[in-house]
Each structure stands twice: as C-alpha cells, then as structure tokens.
Structure 1
Amino acid sequence: MAVIALVSGKSSGVTCSALALTLASPKASLLVEADPAGGTIRTGYLGGEGTAAIGLHRLAAADRQGTLAREFDKHFVSLDREHSGQRLLLPGLTDPTQAASLSRTWEPISRLLNVMDQTGHDVIIDAGRILAESETRLSTTRYPTPLLHRADAVLMVVRTTQASIAAAAPAIRVLREELAHHGTGSDALGLLLIEEGSFNSSQVQQHLQTPVVGALAWDPDSADVLTHGAYKRMPRTLLNSARTAHGTINELVTRRRVQLQPTGVPMVTGRAS
C-alpha cells in the first residue's frame, strides 16, 4: 500500500488533510497522529471518545520495556462510526512535553508502520509543523524525523495563499536536503494544496520548485466537522477531492517504488522494513 507523511511549514491544516485522506482511502487505513505539538482528533473529530490510557504517548514506555511490537496495535482506535476497523487512528500526544520521550522510539515505530503497509494498510502520518535544527536537518530529538525517512511520500500541505506559500519555502529547503541525504530521496517530496487562495497549482509549483501531487477543495463546512466533531452531517466536497488526491498520491508512490526496486527483484505490495 503506501506510507504517506504530511507536514507543514506553518499551521496549514495538516491534521484535517490527513484525516480527510484517511477517511477517503478505498483501502484499510491507519492515521498516525505524530505531531509533536500534540493530538487533537480524539477530542475533536471523535468528540472526546476513548481514554488517555492508549495512544502514542504510551509507546515510549512500551519500547523501554521491550513490549512495543506486542502492544502497538492495542493503541489503535476506530475512526469508523460502525467500528468496522477499516479506518484506524493511533492517537497523538496529550501534552507536547511528552514528545522528548519518543526520540528513541520513532525509529522502531517507523518499522512497525512498514509492517502495517505490508499487511495492506495505507499509513497516513500527521507530522504537523516541521522542527529543524539547521538549514539542512530536521530535529532528531523533538520531531518524528525517522517516520519521514521511511515514508514513500512526504507532502508539504500548503494553502494557495501568499502567506502559506511563503511559510512553506524554507521548510521545503530543509525537507529536500533531509530526504536527499537521509530518506528515500528528494523526489519523495511533493505538495498537497488546500485551494483556499487565489494562486493556482502551476504558480505554487513554480514558486516552491516542488511538484503538486494533489489538491483538496476549500470546504470550511467539512473542515469544521473533521476538526470539531463527527456527529454532524458532513458535506462531501472535501472527501470527494481527497479521494481524487489519494489516487494521484498513490500513483507517485507506485512510480517511486518501481524506481527504487533493485534490478531483477520482483515488486511486491509492501516495502521491506
């Protein structure tokens, strides 16, 4: 399937975009709320359902105890109203101060996410606003950088407004260097647009020198449901555009996997961990 990480240079609707892609996926999907600033889906879209006894913040302790692999899927919750297990969430941190405890756990988590990929799940990672330690490196202590290293695609979420495009530019430069030297290659980097402003995809692509991989409709009503609660009637505009974007993103993933596949080795659905 695919491992797709969403990031931003500044607040640009990453969580809402990640949730839309997860719900629109035609396949089984797992949304990982890896934003070091903390998770909001449990208290927002899920309306406070569930318990803080499960979630990403518990995995650092499991890793130290050597039980991470065994306990990993026990921290998933359903995003489906019918609880079918087709759409899953790994809830995020309940407090940003918990992020530091995960610095050594991101790498084993990334390997487990590749296993989810191999078992037929789309994995969507909400990595929030990037945190850099230099002009060429992401933080290795305060940010889920290993998740980006192993991702098939790393998409910068950008609103088609001047302010959002400007905020994305320095983040794009850091990501390009990071993925070229420590990830699967700089060609994993792309743009996911939110069509809020007056700039078109060609203009954004030219300004940021990065390909536009997909676009989401500007749909405040749907965004409000995804942000604040699942029990309102959701307009379909955003999810319809997310379904289309999902298709183009997976085309990128398939193309990159073919290019990265060693010569003479048959391509399989998942990636090696």
Structure 2
Amino acid sequence: MTVIALVSAKSCGVTTSALAMTLSSTRPSLLAECDPAGGTLRAGFFQAQITAGTGLYHLAVAERAGEDALAQAVANHLVAIDASGNRQVLPGLTDPAQAPALARSWPALAQVMRVLSDEGGYDVVIDAGRLALESGRLHPTLTPAPLLHGADLVLLVVRATDQSLALARHMTDPLRNELTDRGTGAGALGVLLIEDGPRRAHEVSDALRLPVMAALPWEPDTAAYLAGTGRAPRKLNKSALLGSARMALGHLQAAASRRALHQQYPQTQPAPAALPAPAPAATPVAADAPQLAGVLQRLGQGRKDPRV
C-alpha cells in the first residue's frame, strides 16, 4: 500500500486533508498525527473524548524498551474512527514540549509505518504538521524528518492564494534537498492543493516548481466537521471533499506505484511530468523481523473506541 506524508509551511489544512483521506480510503487506513507542535484531533474531531493516556507521546517511552515494544505500543494506542475499525488514528502530542522526547523515536516509528503499509495492507497518511527550518535544513526536533524520508510521497499542502504560495516557496528547496540527501529522492515531493483561492493548479506548480499531485475542494461545512468546529453535514457520505479525497488518494497510490516500478526497473520510462511519478518506496522491512512481527497481529486487538 502507500505511505503519504503531508506537511505545510503554515496551517493550511494538513490535518483536515489527512483525515479526509483516511476516512475516504477504500482500504484499511491509518492516520498518524505526528506534528511536533501538537495534535488537534483529540480536542477537535474527537471532541476531547480521548484522554492523554492514549497517543503518540507514549511511543517514545516504549521505543526505549526496544522496537518490539514500540510496535506493540503503536497497536495499543490506535483509535478506531469507524464502526468496522478499518480506519484508525494514532492521536498526536498533547503538548509541544513533548516533541524532544520523540526525536530518537522517529526512525523506528517510520519503520513501523512501512511495515503497516507493505505487510499490513494499510494506507498510511502521516500528518507531519508545519515545517520548521534551522540553517536552511529541516529542524531535527521540530520536524519529524525520518517519517518524510521513508514516505512514498511527501505533499506540501498549500491553499490557492498568493500568501500561501509565498510562504510555501521558502520550503521547497529545503524539502528537495532533504529528500535527495536522506530520503527517497526529490521525485517524492509534490503539492496537495486546497482550492481555496484564485490560483489555478498550473499557476501553483509554476510558482513552487513542483507538480500538483492532488487537489481538494474548499468545502467549509465538511471541513468544519472534520476540524471539530461544526456539525456533520446531512449528507456526509456525498461530501465533495470526501469524494475528492477518495479520488486523490487513488491517484497518489497509482503515482507511488509507478515511481516504485521505475526505481526497480530504471530503464522504463518515468511518468510524465504532468502526472508526477511517486516516491521510490523506502527499503522494505522483512515481514519476519522479530522486533516488528507482532504489530500486524495486534492491530485488530488494539482498536479502541474513543468513548472508552
């Protein structure tokens, strides 16, 4: 399956977009809320029904006991967001001050996300939050860089406004450099456009020198519901936002597959620039890796109801 990381230069709807993709996936899906600045799903979408006893911070403690403990902790801290339990969330930090404790845990967590995708059949959407830079590179504590390194695709979320593009423009080169030097290559990088503003996709692509890999419509009512600030629309299942998110996810999955194929067989022609090829898959973890073997079996047992 696919691991997609969403980032932004400023709050541009990363969490709402990630949640829309997770809810609309036609396959088992997982949203990992990994914003070092703190998560918003707990207080927003879940309406404070999840306590601080569940979530990302506890994985840092588990990781110090070994990767097997981390894998089990991931399973135990997932929260179901549908009746079937096929769509799940790993809630984020409750306090930005917790971020330094996770710095050494990001690589191992990235490995777990890879196993969930490659061996567990999950579409994994990572909410990596707002990017922070230090000396022109991704900040080692305030950005979960290892999660971006291992993702099939890294999407910079922008709105279709000049202000959003101006802010995002400063992030494109650091992201390219990071993915080239430590990740799966600059081809993993693209744009997720929120169609809230006058700029068209081709204008956004030209301004940022990046392909627009997917676009989502601006639908305030559904967005407010996903953010926890509004009621569910009467016909949520017919929402334009969720329908577009489902189509976008399908396009991104196909793009990731094409790029992985091109990486495996370089002599084949890459995808055309208008529909960019996805990021080469990170080195897969062996299915029988002892430290991670239990995670897939425990996923079904680890689902929680947020009301508990």
Deviation at 1:50, TM superposition (A): 2.4
The aligned residue for residue 189 of structure 2 is 189
Deviation at 1:244, TM superposition (A): 1.4
Q: Could you list the runs of 5+ residues in structure 1 that have no partner in the other structure?
A: 264-268
Q: CA, structure 1 residues 29+229, in 2 after alignment: closer, same or farther (shift >3 Å)?
A: farther
Q: What TM-score comes out, normalization by structure 2 length?
A: 0.83
Describe how 1:22-101 pairs up with structure 2 within 5 A.
Answer: 22-66=22-66, 67-80=69-82, 82=83, 84-101=84-101
The answer to whether the 8 Å contact 1:192/1:215 transfers is yes
Please state if 1:258 is matched with 2:270: no
Query: Once superposed, what is the RMSD of the aligned Cα atoms?
Result: 1.8
Please state if 1:120 is matched with 2:132: no
Q: Could you list the runs of 5+ residues in structure 2 that have no partner in the other structure?
A: 267-280, 286-308
Aligned to 2:139, the other structure's residue is in SS state coil
Please state if 1:244 is matched with 2:235: no
- The amino acid of 2:250's aligned partner reads G
Q: CA, structure 1 residues 247+104, in 2 after alignment: closer, same or farther (shift >3 Å)?
A: same
- The amino acid of 1:122's aligned partner reads D
The answer to whether the 8 Å contact 1:3/1:151 transfers is yes
Runs of 4+ in structure 1 deviating by more than 4 angstroms, as ranges, are none
Describe how 1:114-263 pairs up with structure 2 within 5 A.
Answer: 114-118=114-118, 119-135=120-136, 137-228=137-228, 232-233=232-233, 234=236, 236-261=239-264
Aligned to 1:168, the other structure's residue is in SS state helix
Deviation at 1:260, TM superposition (A): 2.0
Deviation at 1:134, TM superposition (A): 2.3
Aligned to 2:11, the other structure's residue is in SS state coil
Deviation at 1:261, TM superposition (A): 2.1
| In 2, Cα distance between equivalents of 1:201 and 1:232 | 29
Q: CA, structure 1 residues 229+29, in 2 after alignment: closer, same or farther (shift >3 Å)?
A: farther
| In 2, Cα distance between equivalents of 1:176 and 1:270 | 16
How many residues get paired?
A: 266
| In 2, Cα distance between equivalents of 1:78 and 1:271 | 28
| In 2, Cα distance between equivalents of 1:126 and 1:106 | 13
Q: Indicate the percent of aligned positions where both proteins have the same amino acid.
A: 48
The answer to whether the 8 Å contact 2:214/2:252 transfers is yes
Q: What TM-score comes out, normalization by structure 1 length?
A: 0.93
| In 1, Cα distance between equivalents of 2:65 and 2:146 | 21
Deviation at 1:101, TM superposition (A): 0.3
- The amino acid of 1:272's aligned partner reads P
The answer to whether the 8 Å contact 2:184/2:282 transfers is no
